[in-house]
């Protein structure tokens, strides 16, 4: 059983600080495995290998669109978080699951693939590229970005699943440094807005199935 923390739309820095506190507890050996689910106000996050060429906005433009940016400790390049995007932060000690980061990334992808299946949308992987993709092969569009940090088998950061996301924010970056593919959202595919609480519940069920756990929601 792991803890489940569902937050309303919350500033990125606030949730980042919560992540770091739980992550440090895990490193100290405490049994505080947790999944945080939330949305963020508009924010760009720059992973450890972000290249300047993939950032197409200026600081002045950030102010105009009322977005923030943070340089963070996860792997990967630049990405966007905002309203209508389901963000999941699994803070796990993989010693409780499987000490294999490749397995862990594939498990995160599978949790999204199973959630998409609930909407009759086929999600799939692209060899050599972390994340989940949709649409026909050869014209793939990314619907979920994944970036993590791991230390001594403890994890933080996680998934960013475009549900009702305003995709225009992605025009200001080359998402994850991948310039030859577009991003999309579940709402765009289905042609309608999807209630976020509905998607969150389906994602919780998928996560429980993939990781073979039950959530403790008494937080």
C-beta separation of 26 from 91 below 8 A: yes
| SS3 (DSSP) at 11 | coil
Instruction: Read off the DSSP letter of residue 93.
Output: B
> What would the 3-class secondary structure string for 108-128 be?
HHHHHHHHHHCCCCCCEEECC
Active site residues: 176
Name the nearest CA neighbour of 91 among 168, 186, 202, 4: 4
Please give the Cα distance from 179 to 211 (Å, whole number): 32
Q: Which residues contact 6 (CB under 8 A, 6 or more apart)?
A: 36, 37, 38, 200
| SS3 (DSSP) at 140 | coil
Count of alpha carbons within 13 Å of 32, Cβ hemisphere only? 17
Burial of 64 by CB count in 10 Å (0-12 exposed, 13-18 middle, 19+ buried)? exposed
C-beta separation of 18 from 154 below 8 A: no
């Amino acid at each position: 059983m792991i803890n489940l923390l569902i937050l309303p739309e919350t500033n990125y820095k606030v949730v980042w600080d919560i992540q770091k506190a739980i992550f440090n507890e895990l490193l100290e050996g405490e049994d505080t495995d947790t999944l945080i689910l939330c949305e963020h106000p508009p924010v760009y996050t720059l992973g450890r290998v972000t290249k300047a060429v993939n950032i197409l906005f200026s600081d002045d433009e950030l102010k105009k669109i009322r977005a923030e940016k943070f340089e963070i400790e996860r792997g990967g390049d630049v990405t966007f978080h905002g309203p209508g995007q389901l963000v999941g932060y699994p803070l796990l000690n993989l010693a409780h699951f499987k000490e294999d980061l490749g397995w862990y990334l594939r498990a995160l992808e599978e949790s999204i693939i199973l959630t998409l299946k609930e909407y009759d949308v086929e999600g799939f992987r692209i060899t050599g590229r972390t994340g989940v993709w949709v649409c026909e092969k050869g014209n793939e569009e990314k619907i979920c970005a994944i970036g993590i940090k791991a230390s001594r088998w403890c994890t933080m950061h996680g998934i960013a699943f475009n549900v009702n996301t305003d995709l225009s924010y992605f025009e200001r970056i080359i998402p994850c440094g991948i310039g030859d593919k577009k991003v999309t959202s579940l709402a765009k595919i289905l042609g309608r807005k999807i209630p976020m609480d509905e998607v969150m519940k389906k994602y919780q069920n998928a996560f429980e199935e993939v990781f073979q756990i039950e959530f403790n929601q008494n937080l």
